[in-house]
Chain A
């Protein structure tokens, strides 16, 4: 327990330290990191994750529509399927699935990359030159993953709806136009906002845990492997935990 609290404190401290190094740089009228580095990270984190997120969400939406559709058809309510998937994905499944996939794909790569840099003394060399390693290494990754997770959630939601639309058309005679209408009728602004807020938090959590684990690697190649596994596991647990917490807050505030 004490160990877990220590890690939590260190992760928060990493966030504070990174922000401080960035502010220090901004105060002197300079960009905190190279834009090319940031765009490289956005490409790897965002564009690189699109196929995985889209494919998994498409199949998830398809399966969800099939399973719920057959149950609802018994009561003649198959028209509820588009709204059910749309609300379910925009509020819950889109951010959650994206968070888990980003933890596995992006988080693992951040930890392995920074971990290798740590064990080969590259991080220490940067620090030894008088350059803040957090603003140079952590900041572009953290900002990229935080900003791009909501974009990936949009991709996830759209892909799931495409899968659902195909099932609705093929199995439940819901036309394309009718599908769009049913989705728009069911979705409210709050569903979309809560999904975006969740995904921002998930992105930041994954980025922070992955970078922290990478920068604290000890013990060579075996250490990098162990830290990468820990990073993925802890990030997924953190995403699920924070999802529950945010849901409790939303339910308490809005009662729906």
Chain B
């Protein structure tokens, strides 16, 4: 039996009096690529922030490698975060640092790794994501897809056990989107990293996932393999997979922003 990397039990989260997540139960095993599907504003990105310890749940438990994330002190939490990597929706590269320094930041700040070793690792990770020779470029000089790739390279620098992707295909054209999907698969296979990918892009989800969970109005309403998802009996799942609105009111309402 595979080792459980992330375990979320009975998690509820309210922010500003509004219930964002309710009764979330989810576990992710080592080497899995779990895709969390759902409409914009349903709490997908919030789920990633709970795992990373940026947000704390109102109740329930969030465990990473057996450690209770919300109950950890700052120092221990920072150590735990070094074992995770996150790729942000808009890449979140530090705009004042060039690509090399963005990638090197965590290693330089948190480890005694010598500079030449860091440079070697930067080159290696950039090569892995197909961004060789961009060390001196500033984030503003990169396209959206390039930023995403650099962001993935940065997330890989600390050799994480868990990779969190927040809408990795958002704002990308289908070709670049497919490149990012391939990168997510190859990275997971080459490094053995467990991945949690939050998206609402169906094509990407079915391509990348080994397992899919669907979040709807703060609740997980279904989870299973991509094949099980394609033929799911729940109308909310099948409507989402077919790209149809679940109710007449939904088709006229704008989704809430996350």
Q: Which residues of A contact B (CB under 8 A)?
A: 24, 116-117, 120-122, 124-132, 136
Nearest Cβ in chain B — how far from A176, in angstroms? 46
Q: Does B78 contact A (CB under 8 A)?
A: yes
CA distance A117 to B93 in the complex (A): 9
How many B residues, CB 8 Å from partner?
Answer: 24
Which chain A residues border B54 with CB–CB below 8 Å?
124, 127-128
5 new A-B contacts at CB < 8 Å, known A126-B94, A130-B77? A120-B92, A121-B92, A128-B54, A129-B110, A131-B106
The residues of B with any CB-CB pair to A shorter than 8 Å are 52, 54, 74-75, 77-82, 84, 86, 88-90, 92-95, 105-106, 109-110, 158
Which of B80, B90, B109 sits near A131, CB closer than 8 Å?
A: B109
A-B contact pairs, 21 of them (CB 8 A): A24-B75, A120-B90, A120-B92, A121-B89, A124-B92, A125-B92, A126-B94, A126-B105, A128-B52, A128-B84, A129-B82, A129-B105, A129-B106, A129-B158, A130-B79, A130-B80, A130-B81, A130-B110, A131-B78, A132-B74, A132-B78
Interface of B is mostly: mixed
* A to B contact number (C-beta, < 8 Å): 55
Of A24, A127, A130, A136, the most chain B CB neighbours within 10 A belong to A130
| Chain A residue nearest in CB terms to B79 | A130
Chain B hits for A127, CB < 8 A: 54, 81
Q: Which residues of B contact A130 (CB under 8 A)?
A: 77-82, 106, 110
Nearest chain A residue, comparing its CB with the CB of B80:
A130
Cα A26 to Cα B78 with chains together (Å): 16
Chain A residue with the shortest CB-CB distance to B82: A130
Known contacts A131-B109, A136-B109; A125/B94 CB under 8 A: yes
A91 shortest CB reach to chain B, Å: 39
Between A120, A126, A129, A131, the greatest number of chain B beta carbons within 10 A of the residue's beta carbon is seen for A129
Option from B74, B86, B89, B93 in Cβ contact (under 8 Å) with A128? B86
